[in-house]
């Protein structure tokens, strides 16, 4: 999964091979995989010398570095549903402050049974297995939980100086990043710290709420999460901000969702075409008033925001600028 995505990045990033001897070419990646569960389900006779290396938190990021001979930082991010957005944010900051010229940032998630069990025990997953095309339904009155997905997404982030030197063309610019922690509860969302993450991203980008044309919501279709997120968003942006959840298409890809949704935001911004939340038939009255997109909307946007909120009370907000 990871290498296929990196090959796709090679083609779109404008270089034939992602190889570098430079200490300023590095990777922030979210780890994925099923190896850990083998520890619990197998006897020690099934273990091999390679198992520990396969299950280490830094293995996937290290494998990319080994494959492409990257000599700079290799840092795995593991913060549940904000893993990939953290990776993008940290890569952006490293480049912004001159520590790195270019970084691969993103995440991947391979669904494993243990994750499904955890969400089921929390009563967080949808029960509509008999009507899969009707779920998940973020912000909808009749939503009943998330649908787990799997996938990957990666971006190449690069300084302007490095990009111009090799004649590359950017698809967008990362201009703002904010991250907070609730500090109150592992699974219960907190609208105030969600709001704070958005405000930090706006401050970092030197923008006002009116500058943002569209928000890709985290919106997993859980009861409490969607309500808290909608209220936090309304307190920052008011009633009219255009918002939708692309998880209604792919489900919740956990550690990959932050990168995938960043890519969706950038593509929609560049095409001036914003996709709706599908399965949203009746907005929950408990959700704050926002411009919930229920059909494809075409409008210009110079800045878009992508938000992700994770178990552990971790919140991230990214802002992208059209180039």
Which residues lie below 8 Å from residue 66, measured CB to CB, with a gap of 6+?
Answer: none
Would you call 142 a catalytic residue per the annotation? no
DSSP secondary structure, 207-266, as one string = --GGG--EEE----S-HHHHHHHHHHHHHHH-S--EEE-THHHH-B-GGGHHHHHHHHHH
Cα–Cα dist 103/98, whole Å? 12
Which residues lie below 8 Å from residue 200, measured CB to CB, with a gap of 6+?
Answer: 177, 178, 179, 180, 317
Task: Say which of 32, 81, 257, 287 is annotated catalytic.
Answer: 81
Task: Say which of 32, 86, 218, 257 is annotated catalytic.
Answer: 218
Residue 218 backbone class (left: φ over 0; alpha: ψ -120 to 50; beta: rest): alpha
Residue 65: HSE in the Cβ half-sphere, 13 Å Cα cutoff: 23
Task: Say which of 32, 86, 252, 265 is annotated catalytic.
Answer: 252
Residues recognised as catalytic: 81, 218, 252
């Amino acid at each position: 999964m990871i290498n296929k995505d990196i090959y796709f990045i090679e083609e779109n990033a404008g270089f034939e091979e992602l190889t570098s001897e430079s200490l300023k070419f590095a990777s922030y990646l979210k780890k994925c995989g099923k190896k850990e569960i083998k520890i619990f389900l197998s006897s020690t006779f099934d273990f091999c010398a390679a198992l520990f290396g396969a299950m280490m938190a830094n293995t996937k990021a290290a494998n990319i570095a080994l494959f492409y001979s990257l000599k700079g930082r290799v840092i795995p991010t593991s913060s549940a549903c904000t893993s990939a957005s953290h990776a993008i944010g940290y890569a952006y900051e490293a480049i912004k402050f001159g520590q790195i010229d270019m970084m691969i940032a993103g995440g991947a998630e391979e669904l494993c049974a243990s994750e499904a069990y955890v969400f089921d025990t929390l009563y967080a997953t949808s029960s509509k297995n008999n009507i899969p095309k009707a779920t998940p339904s973020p912000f909808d009155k009749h939503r009943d939980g998330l649908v787990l997905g799997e996938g990957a997404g990666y971006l190449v982030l690069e300084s302007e100086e490095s990009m111009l030197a090799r004649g590359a063309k950017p698809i967008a610019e990362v201009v703002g990043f904010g991250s907070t922690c609730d500090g109150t509860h592992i699974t219960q969302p907190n609208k105030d710290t969600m709001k704070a993450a958005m405000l930090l991203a706006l401050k970092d980008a030197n923008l006002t709420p009116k500058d943002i044309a569209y928000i890709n919501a985290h919106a997993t279709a859980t009861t409490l999460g969607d309500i808290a997120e909608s209220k936090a968003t309304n307190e920052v942006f008011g009633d009219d901000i255009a918002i939708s959840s692309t998880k209604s298409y792919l489900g919740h890809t956990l550690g990959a969702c932050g990168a995938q949704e960043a890519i969706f935001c950038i593509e929609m911004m560049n095409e001036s075409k914003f996709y709706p939340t599908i399965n949203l038939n009746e907005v929950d009255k408990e959700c704050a008033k926002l411009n919930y997109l229920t059909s494809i909307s075409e409008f210009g946007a110079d800045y878009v925001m992508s938000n992700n909120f994770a178990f552990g009370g971790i919140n991230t907000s990214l802002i992208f600028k059209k180039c």
